[in-house]
């Protein structure tokens, strides 16, 4: 008769352990105000399916709202930009943005790399996605604070060349042609597109986000 309570105690510990594991307890580095299920809506679930169809390796992330008006709702962690095209330095990205980014990579960047540079795209280098901060020089929250923006700095080709915004935006050659073509394509896909022509803060990267109404600079 003494064993059942021990068994019950052990079972309770197991259940508690599983519950804590499923909750993904934070280490305190990013204080969370609330956490919601991974799939927050039918629209987000559909977006996940579209990412799979596009050949993107990704992991859905828990929807969270943080202090200071920052959040990552319906976000994913992209392991690549589709069909094993490497993408570096990305944190959480909202699924809609990830989907647009994968399509831009497949149908604009890869094709332009072949046409203008004569080589295959193997890697896109970014300067990140989620960051709980304001727009530089303002009191407004950046789209980065909602995991709704990606900053792209360079492209690496199969032949070893690296085409960067810093080095090639105005180089007068094939690198500049390539960057201007994919910039134009990005303007048809994302809500806001900013390039080195926008201001000095963007001298070294493209900024893409899903806000705005086709703002392109």
Q: pLDDT tens per residue, the chain (217 residues)?
A: 444 443 333 333 333 333 333 333 233 333 344 444 444 589 999 999 999 999 999 999 999 999 999 999 999 999 999 999 999 999 999 999 999 999 999 999 999 999 999 999 999 999 999 999 999 888 999 999 999 999 999 999 999 999 999 999 999 999 999 999 999 999 999 999 999 999 999 999 999 999 987 899 9
Q: Are strands 71-72 and 58-60 parallel, antiparallel or unpaired?
A: unpaired
- Right CATH number for 79-216 from 2.40.30, 3.30.1380, 2.60.40, 2.40.50? 3.30.1380
- Could you give the CA distance from residue 144 to residue 101 in angstroms, rounded to a whole number? 15
| The pLDDT of residue 41 | 84
36: number of Cβ within 10 Å = 13
| The pLDDT of residue 20 | 35
Which helix or strand (DSSP H or E) is residue 76 part of?
strand 75-78
- End-to-end, the C-alpha distance of the chain in Å comes to 76
The whole-model pTM stands at 0.81
> Over the stretch 40-60, which tens digit does the pLDDT of each residue have?
589 999 999 999 999 999 999
Contacts of 173 (CB under 8 A, 6+ apart): none
- Could you give the CA distance from residue 43 to residue 47 in angstroms, rounded to a whole number? 6
| The pLDDT of residue 137 | 86
| The pLDDT of residue 212 | 81
| The pLDDT of residue 190 | 98
Q: Are the C-beta atoms of 178 and 124 separated by less than 8 Å?
A: no
Residue-range domain boundaries for the chain: 79-216
């Amino acid at each position: 008769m003494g064993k059942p309570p021990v068994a019950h105690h052990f079972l309770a510990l197991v259940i508690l352990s599983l519950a804590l594991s499923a909750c993904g307890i934070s280490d305190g580095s990013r204080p969370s105000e609330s956490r919601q299920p991974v799939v927050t809506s039918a629209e987000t679930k559909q977006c996940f399916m579209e990412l799979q169809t596009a050949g993107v390796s990704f992991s859905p992330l828990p929807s969270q709202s943080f202090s200071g008006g920052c959040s990552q709702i319906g976000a994913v962690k992209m392991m690549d930009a589709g069909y094993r095209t490497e993408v570096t330095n990305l944190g959480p990205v909202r699924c809609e943005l990830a989907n647009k980014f994968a399509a831009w990579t497949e149908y604009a960047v890869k094709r332009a790399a072949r046409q203008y540079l004569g080589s295959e795209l193997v890697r896109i280098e970014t300067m990140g996605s989620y960051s709980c901060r304001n727009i530089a020089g303002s009191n407004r929250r950046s789209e980065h604070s909602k995991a709704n923006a990606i900053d792209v700095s360079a492209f690496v080709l199969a032949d070893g060349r690296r085409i960067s915004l810093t080095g090639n935006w105005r180089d007068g050659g094939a690198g500049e042609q390539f960057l201007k073509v994919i910039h134009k394509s990005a303007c048809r896909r994302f809500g806001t597109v900013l390039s080195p022509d926008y201001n000095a803060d963007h001298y070294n990267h493209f900024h893409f986000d899903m806000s705005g109404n086709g703002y392109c600079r």
